Amino acid sequence: MAARAGLHLEYLPLAELEADRWSGVMGVATFAAARSEIRATPIPVAEVHTPVLGAAGALCEVWRTGQTIDSGVRGRVRYARSANMMFGCIAVPERGESAGSHSPLYCATEQAYQEILGTLDAVGYSHLIRVWNYVPEINRDTHGVERYRQFNSARQAALLTGGRPVTGNVSAACALGAAVGSPLVVYFLASRTEPTYVENPRQVSAYNYPAQYGVRSPVFSRATVHHDADALTLFISGTASIVGHQTVHAGDTAAQTRETLVNIQALLEEANRVTGTGGFTLDALALKVYVRHPADLPAIQEELRGALGPRARPVYLQADICRRDLAVEIEATAIISAGTDF
């Protein structure tokens, strides 16, 4: 999956990352891993409180580039940037009681996105391409509203205040649960150049969901494609067993996994169509799989082995998913060399 001078994604044990001495690293997300010497580096690190499933142990998601990297801090946002790409992260705890009519989670989300957007404006990387959101107790009801819906309302409010669109040209993203008591953690990739936005013909765009899913719709594209001089990078948002706007196969984890793969295949075909290439294929994807109930892991693994073959190495995390009736969610990334066709 190397992308020459552009982006490169790896999933590594923490010890292996430390041994590699950070060569070309733009940013890291750790999952159920101690920070250890990471704290002493200028590299931005998002510490995500979601357990790793399977035999992987402490795990790091590592974003590298072959370009020169410059790092910095603005408020609570830590970032590193190359000539055209930025990785950044922020952690915002929920503080005390609600401020006015807004819940602590709403306030934390609004603050996080205001600081992210302010940083992008200040350093000149105006296009959010991919965003990861980890929301503690995402399905719990507080202040009369599910916390995922509180998050969606605050994210949309911050984007509107920051002059960003909330439909159409919006980043790929996901929002998953995190451990009780952990902060809201957001990490992201942004660019100086606008990506190509991709929607799934099988699904209603999330930003056009009907009101039954909340007063404010989720703000994300189903996928985005980042264009570098030597590579194209496809970011597939968190994808689940949804057709149109409705969950299908509730209660059947294996069937949900199969339907999720059908949606991912549809996104690959659409990404190939809009970029004019056939290079995005299922076997080229790096997959991160979120599992609501650890007991469902063997069924999910069996379905993925059957679809992807024995060489695939998905990463499995335990996390609550944005809808209570969803048992599995999959996100994916693919990096292909650019050619004359695009």
Q: pLDDT per residue over 138-160, tens digit each? A: 999 999 999 999 999 999 999 99
How does the average pLDDT of the chain come out, rounded? 92
The answer for residues whose C-beta is within 8 angstroms of residue 163's C-beta and 6 or more apart is none
Please compute, for residue 5, the number of CA atoms within 13 A of its CA located in the half-sphere on the CB side: 11
Residues 273-298: what's their mean pLDDT? 95
- What top-level class would CATH report for the domain 7-337? alpha beta
* More confident site: 266 or 17: 266
Confidence bin at 337 (pLDDT 50/70/90): confident
Confidence bin at 97 (pLDDT 50/70/90): low
Name the percent of the chain lying above pLDDT 90: 80
What is the structure's pLDDT at 72?
96
Distance (Å, rounded) from C-alpha 123 to C-alpha 60? 26
Distance (Å, rounded) from C-alpha 129 to C-alpha 136? 23
Least Cα distance to 85 among 70, 101, 107, 104 occurs for: 70
What is the structure's pLDDT at 39?
64
What is the structure's pLDDT at 2?
40
Q: pLDDT per residue over 211-229, tens digit each? A: 999 999 999 999 999 998 8
Confidence bin at 185 (pLDDT 50/70/90): very high
- Of 2-6, 31-35, 255-259, 310-314, which range is least confident? 2-6
Q: pLDDT per residue over 108-149, tens digit each? A: 999 999 999 999 999 999 999 999 999 999 999 999 999 999
Residue 16 is among the residues annotated as catalytic for this protein: no
Catalytic residue among 94, 303, 329, 331: 329
